Amino acid sequence: MIDFKNPENAGPNGLTLAALLILIATLVYMLAFKPPSVEDVSVGHSLTKRNTYTQIENAKQKALEVRKTLAPKFWQGGSVEVTADILSKLTNEVNRYGLTLTSFRPDTDKDLAGFTELKYTVQVAGPYPKIRSLLTSLDGGSDKVALGSVQIAASPNTNDSVQATLSISAYLVTDQSLLPASGGAAHA
């Protein structure tokens, strides 16, 4: 019998009462909630599996959309051909704005996952407004050349001319599976 009047028995009696309450709570839980059946578990598994497949298909679709959006920004072919194309386009742009291309230097390439970043350092001289127009043209986002940084300094020879040192990059596809299956980025 549980007797709380005697202080010596209070500890053991309290533990016995706590154990009885736990047993009663367990019994109520077992009677109130039935364990999941095999069918319930199977339905839950099927729903989880279906949701996982749906999420995978959605991710694949989004990846394809991203590849289609980015494909025109990437170069294909060899780095020598890409460098020649970039130099040709850059020369045309510089001539269009009446500037002087004083230096074009390829830097160390950087391998990325499925791509190679081709880096270049370019020096251009001419009036500041025309260099600003060239920078706006290069940074417009419609070209396959990414403008990384610009340093502008006054030209030592003239008062109205400046010299700009540009850091530009081009991204060459090395893993064709990253491009959309229906074409991809053409060699520009």
pLDDT attached to residue 167: 94
Mean pLDDT lowest among 25-34, 169-178, 179-188: 179-188
Query: Are 122 and 135 contacting, i.e. CB atoms less than 8 angstroms apart?
Result: no
Would the pLDDT of 128 be above 70?
A: yes
Collapse the DSSP code of 91 into the 3-class scheme (helix H, G, I; strand E, B; otherwise coil) and give the result.
helix
Q: Could you tell me what percent of the chain has a pLDDT over 70?
A: 90
pLDDT band of 73, cuts 50, 70, 90: confident
Q: What is the pLDDT of residues 138-182, one digit of tens each?
A: 887 667 888 889 999 987 777 788 999 999 998 888 777 666 665
* Structure tokens that stand for 185 in this block: 């980025």
Would the pLDDT of 124 be above 90?
A: yes
Provide the residue ranges of all domains of the chain, joining segments of one domain with +. 7-70, 74-178
Q: What is the pTM of this model?
A: 0.60
Mean pLDDT lowest among 91-100, 103-112, 153-162: 153-162
CATH assignment of 74-178? 3.30.70.60
Task: Supply angle C-alpha 119, 98, 157, rounded to 5.
Answer: 85
Average pLDDT on 104-130 reads 90
Helices (H) and strands (E) in the chain, counts: 4, 5
